[in-house]
Amino acid sequence: MAAFGRWKAQRLARADCSRRGALDERAAGVVRLLNGRAPFCTTSSCSGRLVLAEGGAAESAGVPAAIPKKRCRWLLVAHEPCGRADVMAALEKATGDVVFKFEPFVLHVLCQELQDAQLLHSVAIESGFKNSGITVGRGGKIMMAVRSAHCLEVPLSHMGKLMVSEEYIEFLVHVANQKMEENARRIDRFYKHLEAALEAAGGVSNSPSTDTQEVHAVYVRRRKRRTVQTQDVLPSPEGHNEELEPGDDPEGSLDIFAGITL
C-alpha cells in the first residue's frame, strides 16, 4: 500500500508529455476524481477525437488498412464535432494515403487492489464502455482500461488522390459527429456512476486505507444485475493497438497513449 502511494505521487508529479501538454477538458473531471482517491492513479487518457491521419502508400490493393501512429502525419485532429469543410481543407494537404477516424474515450488506471479495478470495471461496463478490461502483470501491478468499440475508420485517399465523393465525406462527418456526441454522453454517465459507486463503497476514499471487502461487495451487487463477459484481458479496440503485456511496467507500456493524448 505504501509502495503504491509513493509510485502514484511520483507519477502524478511528472510533466504531461502529451502533444497537447494538458488534460482534455471533457476527460479532466474523471481523471481528477480518480486521482483524488488513494487506490487509483491514471496513467493516460483521451476524451475522444476525430482524426485525419496520413501515412505511406498501402502495400495491398491500395487500401491503407492501418496507419501506425508513430509514422503518420496528422492532417486534422478535433475533440469536438467538425464540418465537411474542415475535412476537405485538411485533405488538400494530403500526398499519401489518408484515413478518417473517430477514436472514442480511452482511460488507463493503475489500481492498488484487484477489488478497486473490479469496481471501476463494473462502472465502465454500466456506462457503455463494453470493451473495458483488467490486466494483472507478473509483478502484481493491476491496470484497468476503460474502452469502447464505438469507433470509425474509413480510408479516403490513396497517394494523394481522393477516392470518394464530397457527398460521401459529408455523410461520414455526420456519422462521426453523432459518435462524438454519444461518446460525450457516455463520459458523463461514467463520471456520475463512478462518483456514486465510490460514495457507496465508502472505503475507497482520500484516506490511504481501503476496505476492499466493501468495495468488492459493491462490485458483486452490480454484476448480479446483468450478464457481462469476463473482465480478464480483453482485446484492444482498433485504433489503440498497443496494450500492456503481462509483467511489463505500465508506465513504459502505455507511453504510446501518453504520446497521442492531444
In sequence order, what DSSP letters do the residues of 200-262 get, joined into one string? HH-SSSSSS---HHHHHHHHHHHHHTS-----SSPPPPTT----PPTTS-HHHHTHHHHHH--
Q: Which among 25-29, 101-105, 223-227, 244-248 has the top mean pLDDT?
A: 101-105
pLDDT digits (tens, 9 = 90+) for 175-211: 999 999 999 999 999 999 999 999 998 755 444 333 3
Identify any residues that bridge with 217 across adjacent strands, giving them in sequence order: none
Query: How far is residue 75's CA from residue 77's CA, in Å, rounded to a whole number?
Result: 7
Mean pLDDT of 49-70: 61
Query: Three-state SS for 49?
Result: strand
Single-letter code of the amino acid located at 234: L
pLDDT for 21 = 60
CB within 8 Å of 26: residues ≥ 6 apart: 47, 48, 79, 105, 184, 187
> Which CATH architecture best describes the domain 1-57+70-198?
2-Layer Sandwich (3.30)
Tell me which H or E stretch contains 91.
helix 84-91
pLDDT for 258 = 31
Tell me which H or E stretch contains 87.
helix 84-91
pLDDT for 250 = 39
Could you tell me which of 24, 23, 22, 26 has the C-alpha nearest to residue 185? 26
pLDDT digits (tens, 9 = 90+) for 78-131: 999 999 999 999 999 999 999 999 999 999 999 999 999 999 999 999 999 999
pLDDT for 14 = 80
Tell me which H or E stretch contains 19.
none
Query: Three-state SS for 54?
Result: strand
Q: How many CB atoms lie within 10 A of CB 58?
A: 18
Q: Are 66 and 154 in contact (CB under 8 A)?
A: no
pLDDT for 67 = 52
Place of cell 469543410: 85
pTM listed for this prediction? 0.71
